[in-house]
Amino acid sequence: MWDQPFTLYFAARAVSLVGDAMMPVAAALAVGAVYGISGVGYVLGVWTGTFVLLVLFGGVFADRLGARRMMVGADLVRVLTQGALAAAFFAGTPPFWLLVMMAGLAGSATAMFQPGVNGMVPLVTREPQRANATLKVADALAQLLGPALAGALIALTGAGTVYAIDAATFLLSALCLALIRIVPHPADSVVRQGSSLRDELRQGWREFRARTWMWAVILIWVGYGILLFGPLVPLSSALISARLGADAYGLAVSFLGVGTVLGGLLALRLRPARPLAAGAVAMVLYSVLPLCVAVGSGLPVLLAGYALGGAAWAFWSVMWATSVQTHTPSAVLNRVTAYEQAGSVSGMALGQILAGPAAALAAPGRLLLVSAAACLAGCVALFATPAIRTLPRAAAPAERDVRCTPAVVARGGNARSHEPT
């Protein structure tokens, strides 16, 4: 698995994940200190909402122009947005309109970037589940190091340093991705030749709708976004910071990374015959995370709850990503990925925006109790849906046979071919 294409792709993802892991803590602490829970919710909601509005087009463009090209361009845009925020924080207190504007631009860039993340994996490796699990471990290590580093940097130097580091990680990611060249299978080009944007969107929708297990999961994830994932960061950051201090929140998110490492390592070893059923069982443990915050647990119990939630989330994520990649033809994978991401993230945007108003009507602790209950109800729905529960493990489709070559960086060097099956 560790040949040049996957190594470059892994390096690109790993370095940007470290920067990304710092951002929720930076937004929750730096923005929250000036504009409160509502400010954090609106900034995150604008980012997420912009992503939802544009990700479908990102899927089409990734299929048309190539995922790698779109990802490099999106990284460069985010170098500018995060660099601008870094400069604003170094200069003083950023105006709220600038935070919102940069969140919208960064969300737009992420919408162009994210569909290709899923579609690139089958192109750079023969073993999608191992690759997904390895990437999830990298994500976990980033979650382990990033939040704690962000909390320390904000305390010592301010939020500007965190945003500057994030901009640098996007620049390094763009460089690594630029060194990978992917030549798609000729059949993929024939399928897209002469197709209009509307036709390609329709084709992606038909492929998405044809998979009951996929759209059923996304419907459940819309509810999760509104009641669980959306309000979790604004509410939990406010509660933990007020009760135990800002450093405690950064430490808790780091332990989320510890759990994610364990969940990713477990997904490297286990190959369940029914991956989504196994993932649904694992997600039951995620309900412990909001429950620990809601009941005001002490720091040791809180950290254990975050670690358990991280492990559950990592295992589900690997099972889900591998199922999407191995049950979807490569010619439409980016578009199908865009539809599933738009659906799953749309509820989160609404949940983030409503977090502030909801906290004005009910205690944040009570709202997180609702989040824990919603998590358990969603797991029951996942396991009770036959199309989800019975979806079998599948190998990568034969039509994903592509040639992936690293860019020639030494003068006179020859590109090496890699043909996953």
> Could you give the CA distance from residue 216 to residue 280 in angstroms, rounded to a whole number?
13
Alpha carbons within 13 A on the beta-carbon side of 361? 6
The per-residue pLDDT for 1 is 67
| 215: its two tokens | 């759209």
Each residue's pLDDT tens digit, 295-337: 888 889 999 999 999 899 989 988 998 888 888 887 788 888 8
C-alpha closest to that of 99 among 113, 111, 86 = 86
> Could you give the CA distance from residue 139 to residue 259 in angstroms, rounded to a whole number?
11
Question: In this structure, which amino acid lies at residue 183?
Answer: V
Strands (E), 173-316: 180-183
Overall fold of domain 4-406? Growth Hormone; Chain: A; (1.20.1250)
Beta pairing partners, 181: 405
> Could you give the CA distance from residue 58 to residue 13 in angstroms, rounded to a whole number?
18
In the chain, where the domains are located: 4-406
C-alpha closest to that of 137 among 351, 310, 338 = 310
In the block, which residue shows the tokens 């591998």?
322
Each residue's pLDDT tens digit, 111-159: 888 888 877 887 887 788 888 888 888 877 776 777 777 777 877 887 8
The per-residue pLDDT for 180 is 83
> Could you give the CA distance from residue 107 to residue 98 in angstroms, rounded to a whole number?
14
